[in-house]
Amino acid sequence: MSLVVGLMSGTSLDGVDAVLVDFSQPVPRTLGTLWLGYPDEVRREALELQTPGNNELHRAALLANTLARCYADSVLKLLAKTARRPEQIAAIGCHGQTVRHQPGQGYTLQLNNPALLAELTGIPVVADFRSRDIAAGGQGAPLVPAFHAAVFADPNEHRVVLNLGGIANLTDLAPGKPVRGFDCGPGNMLLDAWAEKHLGQRYDSGGQWAAGGTPISRLLEVLLADPYFCAQPPKSCGRDEFNLDWLNRHLAASDDAQDVQASLLELTAATVTEAISRWCGTPRRVLVCGGGVHNSALIARLQAILGGCQVLDTASAGQPADWVEAVAFAWLAWLALQGQAGNLAAVTGANGPRVLGAIYPR
């Protein structure tokens, strides 16, 4: 069997991306996609568990069960949509919902109950992809650069793949050179959180609210001074480092909310482009995927700063931008089934290649 379902629920906490991917040919072929939004109570609990709280071990276990049921629902709906049966699927690759990422302390935590997911779907599950890389001395993230290299590298063109999820990460694909990749800082996460706080909306559609504001130079300067941005790769980050508490520590009472949003958009654009310049050089093309591809104000700002470098979404290279990460975790699950390494030690800092993920039989 060559069909694998990939599931991704990232730091944006909006829901589950599900894809059905065929690995019978050298280039993975996506046969179907489905998005399932989180119920409000699931999203609220996942957000609250990002920080220590009362009875959190019990609450985390209950949320893991709830998430497994959400994942199972998304899988079964995707199979119905694509007219496939569970017994035709080799595995589900499920990233889980990150609530802690502390590679410096030797652990990462993605909530999921893969045993329950296997039980509910009747399909083997591959989960917990990051832990083995961390055990081998790596960051456990980002893991998608290996997939980016497999599907986007061009021997005749220097490319950078930019994933604009809650966190932004880069993959440098320079012909004749080792693949590099790292988290460069906030992507949509702070923009979404600030929009929800002040607009009552999950995100700033198209970046229109940010585009109507003016970046606050003082605020932008102090945010850009965070030591993470100039730290040398390998490196990874998440809500542990960048969150509204981090932002609030730097705000002045007189700061206009719309101008803060404009500053956050500029923060993402500036940290991405500075990371490309410092660590990747001068690519010919930047291929963008993730939810941030729909923030037209952010994409326009990236193009303006990068100048002659083309900024295009990954659909131009054969992979629809909204589904790249979910396809990547289907690919990692497929590698695990074959006993093949899924990490790039040069990206994560691990001691060497490792097979990623624990397999839960059907």
Q: What is the pLDDT of residue 11?
A: 77
Q: What is the pLDDT of residue 117?
A: 98
Q: What is the pLDDT of residue 259?
A: 98
Indicate whether 1 pLDDT > 90. no
Going from the C-alpha of 318 to that of each of 90, 151, 166, 287, the distances in angstroms are 24, 8, 23, 11
Q: What is the pLDDT of residues 248-276, one digit of tens each?
A: 999 999 999 999 999 999 999 999 999 99
Indicate whether 12 pLDDT > 80. no
Q: What is the pLDDT of residues 186-205, one digit of tens each?
A: 999 999 999 999 999 999 99
pLDDT tier at 235 (50, 70, 90 boundaries)?
very high
- The 3-class SS string of 223-282 reads HHCCHHHHCCCCCCCCCCCCCHHHHHCCCCCCCCHHHHHHHHHHHHHHHHHHHHHHHHCC
Token pair 């719309």 in the structure block, residue: 258
Percent of the chain scoring above 70 in pLDDT: 100
pTM (predicted TM-score)? 0.92
Choose between 13 and 275: higher pLDDT. Answer: 275
Going from the C-alpha of 19 to that of each of 10, 129, 351, the distances in angstroms are 15, 18, 31
Indicate whether 131 pLDDT > 80. yes
Q: What is the pLDDT of residue 71?
A: 98
On whether the CB atoms of residues 131 and 144 are closer than 8 A, the answer is no
pLDDT tier at 13 (50, 70, 90 boundaries)?
confident
Instruction: Provide mean pLDDT across the span 328-346.
Output: 97
What's the chain's average pLDDT? 96
pLDDT tier at 233 (50, 70, 90 boundaries)?
very high
Q: What is the pLDDT of residues 46-76, one digit of tens each?
A: 989 988 889 999 999 999 999 999 999 999 9
Q: Compute the distance between CA of residue 12 and CA of residue 204 in angstroms, rounded to an integer.
A: 13
On whether the CB atoms of residues 163 and 187 are closer than 8 A, the answer is yes
On whether the CB atoms of residues 216 and 36 are closer than 8 A, the answer is no
Q: Compute the distance between CA of residue 25 and CA of residue 32 in angstroms, rounded to an integer.
A: 16
Closest CA to 356 of 209, 161, 139: 139
Instruction: Provide mean pLDDT across the span 297-325.
Output: 96
Which residues contact residue 32 at a Cβ distance below 8 angstroms, ignoring those fewer than 6 apart? 19, 20, 78, 81, 82
Token pair 């290649």 in the structure block, residue: 353
Q: Where are the beta strands (DSSP E) in 137-228?
A: 159-164, 167-173, 180-186
Q: What is the pLDDT of residue 14?
A: 85
Structural domains present in the chain: 3-139+323-360 (3.30.420.40), 145-317 (3.30.420.40)
Indicate whether 82 pLDDT > 90. yes
Which residues contact residue 284 at a Cβ distance below 8 angstroms, ignoring those fewer than 6 apart? 157, 158, 159, 309, 310
Q: What is the pLDDT of residue 250?
A: 97
Token pair 């591959």 in the structure block, residue: 126
Going from the C-alpha of 211 to that of each of 2, 83, 118, 265, 297, the distances in angstroms are 45, 43, 45, 9, 6
Instruction: Provide mean pLDDT across the span 303-308.
Output: 94
Q: What is the pLDDT of residue 47?
A: 87
Closest CA to 29 of 336, 340, 327: 327
Q: What is the pLDDT of residues 220-229, one digit of tens each?
A: 999 999 999 9
Q: What is the pLDDT of residue 240?
A: 87
Indicate whether 32 pLDDT > 90. yes
Instruction: Provide mean pLDDT across the span 110-131.
Output: 98
Closest CA to 197 of 261, 254, 240, 250: 261
Instruction: Provide mean pLDDT across the span 8-32.
Output: 92
Residue at 74: amino acid letter: S
